[in-house]
Amino acid sequence: MTDQQAGASDQPADPGTGIALDVEDDGRVGIFDAHHPPSDDRIADCVHCGFCLPTCPTYVLWGEEMDSPRGRIYLMKVGREGRVELDDTYVQHFDACLGCMACVTACPSGVAYDELIEATRPQLERNYTRTPADRAFRQLIYSVFPYHRRVRAASAGGWLYTTLGLRALLHGSGLAGRLPARLRALESLMPPIRLRELASALPPVTPASGTRRRRVGMVAGCIQQVYFSRVNDATARVLAAEGCEVVTPRGQGCCGALMLHSGQEPDALDKAKDLIATFEAEDVDTIVINAAGCGSSMKEYGRLLADDPEWAERAKAFSDKVRDVTELLAELDPVAPRHPIQAKAAYHDACHLAHAQGVTAQPRKILKAIPGLELADIPEGEICCGSAGIYNLVEPEPAEELGKRKAANIASVEPDLIATANPGCILQIRRHLDADIPLVHPVELVDASIRGTGVPAQRTASRWPALAALAIGAAGVAAVARRRSA
């Protein structure tokens, strides 16, 4: 698609045929509705220099201009001008974007691609009709994953599915390989689960060791508190050891990151408001999060709710308090002694920590403070692993290519363990890594160093298939729908 193809006349035209498009004068901006379309000023910031291209995962894979940040910004431009149709091809170029924000880091002109893509995705969800199968799969994700109680229920059903031998039957018969790509990805990405962890939860208050230096509110997360409860436990222990009183409100819900990154704007903002209200009641100095994707969204609440008179100031106050746990630990002068961990650790930069939040030095600082730990950077560290929220579920083929690429780069440095600050990255890398190398959150290594326990042990329980989770999740959605219609 080029400017010449788009035509030079004042009348909007189809870029392929030159035929004028029927753009109604109803407040719409080209193919977009009037509610926060991608900003023309932000689009104009792009000077088409191409510095973003080698950092964009999809451009690296395919070499297709329209699957690069520069190309997608051009698509936003012609979309605003009404010179393109909102069809399958147009939408797929944006669906293929991982939202990793590596282009934001690489751009010398300061183009806010993060704001542009987060304005474009809701437009697509409101104005484009997906296929019934696509809508059903996405709705299943939105109806289960942001609700930790539903995730626990699905996990219990999945554990039973495995225990009864049905998973072994599925794989032994070869039927697992015949599943649709999205279901195969979901099945293979799910982590091991132990029943005793399904009921685990942090206490409402974890007291500081010694003199209290700070009162910290902790976001427990949705997937995090079910599948990665050990990370939450380590976070609370480390912060307490460093003199923080840790408050974990029992009533907290999802931060809305999954919805925000997928264009489900109303649900995302509702969840953001609920979380803000929950932590306002706790009077904390800092709000800490140990999942990079969640943290990047929470830091954006102030911008996302800026035009809401009731919530604008409250959202900004909340966002100003948010810190990734590695940021907070880097800010605090350590008081808890560290014991040696004799190991070589490969550190993988989670995209929503490094690119979306600009947090790269802090995780390395706290890891380098562990005696005996050797830290190794990974080749192509700026390229996403392919996790990207729900990307590896809805776009499984490119996600698999990126996952294998990342796993190979990690293996090339021959580490004893891998550290990364996002649960999705851990699941994605574990899936594609051939070697049996432990994957941990950086805070787990700090916790192990403070406690003198060595490298954190890995779970050995069998992975459960997602088919059980899908069945339970679908049943739950149907039950909710029935109650609402009653």
Over the stretch 405-426, which tens digit does the pLDDT of each residue have? 999 999 999 999 999 999 999 9
Q: How far apart are CA 236 and CA 247, in angstroms?
A: 9
CA angle 197, 201, 205 (to 5 degrees): 155
What per-residue confidence (pLDDT) applies to 472?
43
Q: Are 181 and 485 in contact (CB under 8 A)?
A: no
Question: Residue 153 — pLDDT band, cuts 50, 70, 90?
Answer: confident
Q: Which of 481, 474, 477 is nearest to 183 (CA)?
A: 474
Q: Which pTM value belongs to this model?
A: 0.87
The sheet carrying 286-289 orders its strands as 205-206, 244-247, 214-218, 286-289, 322-324
Instruction: Dump pLDDT digits (tens) for 287-315.
Output: 999 999 999 999 999 999 999 999 999 99
- The domains of the chain, with CATH numbers, are 3-127 (1.10.1060), 133-194+465-485 (no CATH), 197-331 (3.40.50.1860), 343-451 (3.40.50.1860)
What per-residue confidence (pLDDT) applies to 170?
66
Q: Which of 204, 203, 177 is nearest to 188 (CA)?
A: 177
Instruction: Dump pLDDT digits (tens) for 237-260.
Output: 999 999 999 999 998 999 999 999
What per-residue confidence (pLDDT) applies to 477?
42
Q: Would the pLDDT of 478 be above 70?
A: no
The four Cα atoms 458, 461, 465, 470 give a dihedral, to 10 degrees, of -90
Point out which residues pair with 214 in neighbouring strands: 244
Q: How far apart are CA 54 and CA 75, in angstroms?
A: 19
The sheet carrying 439-440 orders its strands as 373-377, 343-348, 417-420, 439-440
Point out which residues pair with 205 in neighbouring strands: 247
Share of the chain above pLDDT 90, in %: 74
Q: How far apart are CA 404 and CA 298, in angstroms?
A: 30
Within 10 A of 476 (CB to CB), how many other CB atoms are there?
A: 18
Q: Are 441 and 228 in contact (CB under 8 A)?
A: yes
CA angle 429, 223, 463 (to 5 degrees): 55
| DSSP letters for 211-234 | S--EEEEE---SHHHHH-HHHHHH
Share of the chain above pLDDT 70, in %: 85
Average pLDDT in the 192-220 region?
88
Q: How far apart are CA 460 and CA 298, in angstroms?
A: 33
Instruction: Dump pLDDT digits (tens) for 427-457.
Output: 999 999 988 899 999 999 999 999 999 887 6
32: DSSP letter: B
What per-residue confidence (pLDDT) applies to 454?
82
Q: Are 137 and 182 in contact (CB under 8 A)?
A: yes
Sorted by sequence, the CB contacts under 8 Å of residue 100 that are 6+ apart come out as 57, 351, 352, 355, 384, 388
Q: Are 42 and 48 in contact (CB under 8 A)?
A: no
What per-residue confidence (pLDDT) applies to 231?
96
Point out which residues pair with 377 in neighbouring strands: 347
What per-residue confidence (pLDDT) applies to 16?
35
Q: Would the pLDDT of 19 be above 50?
A: no
SS (H, E, C) 43-112: HHCCCCCCCCHHHCHHHHHHCCHHHCHHHHHHHHHHHHCCCCCCCHHHHHHHHCCCCCCHHHHHCCCCCC
What per-residue confidence (pLDDT) applies to 412?
96
Q: Would the pLDDT of 482 be above 60?
A: no
Q: Are 424 and 388 in contact (CB under 8 A)?
A: yes
Question: Residue 158 — pLDDT band, cuts 50, 70, 90?
Answer: low
CA angle 253, 256, 261 (to 5 degrees): 160
209: DSSP letter: S
